[in-house]
Amino acid sequence: MASSDEDGSSESIVNIDTSEKGLGAVKTLLQGQSSGGAPKQVVLAFSQLSVAAPDVGTVYAKTLPKAIFNTFGVDQFNFVKNLLPKEASTSAKTNVRKILTDFTGLVKPGEMLFVLGRPGSGCSTFLRATANRSTLGVTGHLSFANVDAPEFGKRHQRETIYLPEEDRHIAALSVSQTIRFALRMSLPLKIRTEQLVEELVVVMGDIFGIEHALDTPVGGQFFPGVSGGERKRVSIAEVLAAGSSVQCFDNSTRGLDSSTALDFVKALRKLTDLGQKTTLATLYQAGENIYSHFDKVLLIDQGHQVFFGRTEEAKTYFEDLGYIPMPGETTAEFLTNITDPTQRRAKPGSKAENIATPQQLSAVFKESAHFARLLQEINQSERQLTADTSPIPSSAYNLSYSHQILECLRREYQLIKGQRRVYYTKWVTTIILSLTVGSLYFDLTVTAQGAFTRGGLLFFALILNGWLQFPELFDAHTNRPVLERQGQSPIMGN
């Protein structure tokens, strides 16, 4: 993979200046994803958004002697006790612990939101909540294009996507096969042609700087393939092919060097501009060039929102409060250090000197002009969306169930073809064992002694075929997360 510096020399890696024919193919893709119209644009708005999880209290870890003792009495007693009917108690109340508290913000189509905070502050929880993927208790107002989150989840579930830190792909498939499968599954049959799909594969490889690796396996933890940065860009290309309108990337630059992380953010910027996507991302150790590619920033301190606004206004806001940036410190580092009591510095006698807790820092922001302007923007956006009567296209699948099965069979054939050596070894081993075992049990007698020997032959044949299937179990286990992720995206049904 070509390397690049943070001074902008990586433009050759993420290149949007493709030919007009290629741009026409991308426009066809976006129109096909939006039922032939303009690209779908979803405004993300949230106010007083909170996320809470059940608080089970203290959990004690069992030691080995304690586990052995419980096995012979206590565990059996608790098991029987749980089987007995319990009396309903109106006074019993489940304790909850708030992870996020009263978040308010607005992200418009074509904008990128930088979710910033220390590890454990709640960035991943916020992304899962805004992607409508949270399994915890979400309260407050969360809407997508002025449609409440529960209703949007029922009718347009696949308009949102959440990408975790790990890049999960089928390792044996090549980069072009991975992108091609996503394109064939997302494009409607009425506009999909082999020429269009192949052209889009080449164009997307050129846009995201992976044209030289189209025939290379994607690879994974136990399978050689492309580099980590290239695998990140394959994930973005797959997201573009899927066509989700709201995209949340959770620490997708983990393990990448600074230049590759910059390439990732540039590709994300191009994806957002191309399809007018609503993009949210959390990144750690972001340089100044990475920070400048985002439109807005959200700063989280222990589950509390302490700033939401334009990226160019964040540093000035905290400096006006009295916080002092360290020499040589990037904007992202300065903002993150503000949430760390051991790292932040404040001017003597300033307002920042009297701020000691995340609650106080959040309260100061909610009394600021930035927050008042944010509320005005949310109200104005809701009025505009109410006046706009054009509905969001429903999140129906572009392919029928039978066509999805055919595409999956095509991918399975490609997967087998990519692992030819495994199957060749299995076939050769089967033939050799068949000839060897056949010679041992050749010309058996028809007496009772021969019947006993035939039983051993049947047992050997059954157990051998079971052993030969162990390589299939490895693929089924490693590919399961990929199928779960694609089942929740617009690529395929689940």
Tokens of 92: 């019993």
Identity at 137, one-letter amino acid code: G
Q: What is the mean pLDDT of residues 114-133?
A: 87
pLDDT number for residue 321: 87
pLDDT tens-digit readout, 92-111? 456 778 888 889 999 988 89
pLDDT of 346 above 80: yes
Cβ atoms 386, 380 nearer than 8 A: no
Band of pLDDT at residue 24, cut at 50, 70 and 90: low
Burial class (CB in 10 A: 0-12, 13-18, 19+), 459: exposed
Best-predicted range by mean pLDDT (97-111, 251-265, 438-452)? 97-111
Q: What is the CA radius of gyration of the chain?
A: 28
pLDDT of 76 above 80: no
d(CA 215, CA 194): 18
Q: Positive or negative CA dihedral for 171, 175, 180, 183?
A: positive
Tokens of 465: 């075929």
The pTM of this model reads 0.72
pLDDT tens-digit readout, 396-407? 556 677 777 887
